[in-house]
Amino acid sequence: MRDFLKRLPKAELHLHIEGTLEPELMMALADRNGVNLPYASEDEVRAAYDFEDLQSFLDLYFQGMSVLRTERDFHDLAMDYFQRAHAEGVVHVEMHVDPQAHLARGVSLQAVMEGLGQARRRAERELDMSSAMIMAFLRDKPADEAMQLLESAAPYWETLDAVGLDSAELGHPPSGFAEVFQRARDLGLSRVAHAGEEGPPAYIREALDMLDVCRVDHGVRCLEDPALVERLREQGTVLTVCPLSNLRLKVVDRLDDHPLPQMLEAGLTLTLNSDDPAYFGGGMLENFEACHRAFGWSRDTFRDLARNAIDAAFMSDARRGELVGRLEACT
């Protein structure tokens, strides 16, 4: 099964590029940029990856990204992940990026976008890996700041595929960003949002009704609202579920207890993703393998999940057709 899951052409729809920062690269960039970290070694960094909840993860996540300073840093960050993902059979990556977290540190939007853009072009050229860019707004920051970011990103609008909403969910409902998402819609950008990870099912409804999202990132708490489940099923709304992330952030105590099987039974359109693989125990292959161990899913189930991701991805019709053909040939 591992060989099959590795060969399976996988599209990752829910990935935070800053969350791909492995301890080795973190330490190397800290040395390159003269950044003092409270860790003496890669092992000490890994020892800190024992999170109580989403907020405890975010604290370390933002501390780690302090080593990202230059265009070259963002290029190296993305290429490091693209190469690892390629080795796991990932053929398409949709990266969330959090510019506000970098701007607040004095890093320019140009450094972020140009560095990531260079890596995207290189990955397509060298690895035959397509990609998409989702500019995410930090929901624990003011909506006015998000709007300012969106407008200041005008030179990069053509390189963006969507906008998103992430960071600490509790107490920060999607409704506060309705105007920002309307502006993104006017610009022709697709919309996605984190909802229903730690936040209640009502946040998922708000993301659908007030942000007009085409995908819900996480969404695992939808099962608490049967009417919402029916709506998601009828609309075919894609949920980008991150199993190992949910386990490491204590959304579930054991992967065996994850609601994924019930979500599948309910007829929901699901995809598997890694979220922040450097922090949560592995990339796409590890997430697929963990689900096989926990739920005993068949090859057909994994093919269906992989097809959902390809169908929902921000990519050209030609690329989609190519990847569907590769998926159908995978036995």
Coil/strand/helix, residue 191: strand
DSSP character string of 246-284: HHHTTSSSSGGG-SHHHHHHTT-EEEE--BSHHHHT--H
**Catalytic residue (one of 71, 88, 94, 197):** 197
Compute the distance between CA of residue 302 and CA of residue 313 in angstroms, rounded to an integer: 17
**pLDDT of residue 50 exceeding 80:** no
Q: How many CB atoms lie within 10 A of CB 49?
A: 14
Tell me the percentage of the chain whose pLDDT exceeds 90.
Answer: 91
CA angle 236, 240, 241 (to 5 degrees): 120
Which CATH number characterizes residue 27's domain? 3.20.20.140
**pLDDT of residue 64 exceeding 90:** no
Compute the distance between CA of residue 137 and CA of residue 142 in angstroms, rounded to an integer: 9
User: If phi over 0 gives left and psi between -120 and 50 gives alpha, with beta otherwise, what is residue 312?
Assistant: alpha
Write down the pLDDT at residue 167.
94
Q: What is the mean pLDDT of the chain?
A: 96
Residue pair 234/268 in contact (Cβ under 8 Å)? The answer is: no
**pLDDT of residue 240 exceeding 90:** yes
DSSP character string of 122-181: HHHHHH--EEEEEEEEETTS-HHHHHHHHHHTGGGGGG--EEEEES--TT--GGGGHHHH
Write down the pLDDT at residue 146.
98
Write down the pLDDT at residue 265.
98
197 belongs to the catalytic site = yes
Residue pair 18/61 in contact (Cβ under 8 Å)? The answer is: yes
Tens of pLDDT, residues 255-265: 999 999 999 99
Write down the pLDDT at residue 178.
98
Residue pair 191/166 in contact (Cβ under 8 Å)? The answer is: no
> What is the span of the domain harbouring residue 158?
2-328
**pLDDT of residue 37 exceeding 80:** yes
Beta-bridge partners for 271: 240
Q: Structural domain tally of the chain?
A: 1
Write down the pLDDT at residue 56.
80
Tens of pLDDT, residues 88-119: 999 999 999 999 999 999 999 999 999 999 99
Q: Residue 60: in which H helix or E strand, if any? A: helix 54-64
Crossing angle for the helix pair 226-235 and 201-210, to the nearest 10 degrees: 40
Reported as a pLDDT band with limits 50, 70 and 90, residue 82 is very high
Sheet holding 162-166, edge to edge: 10-16, 90-97, 130-138, 162-166, 190-195, 215-218, 238-241, 269-272
Mean pLDDT in residue range 219-229: 98
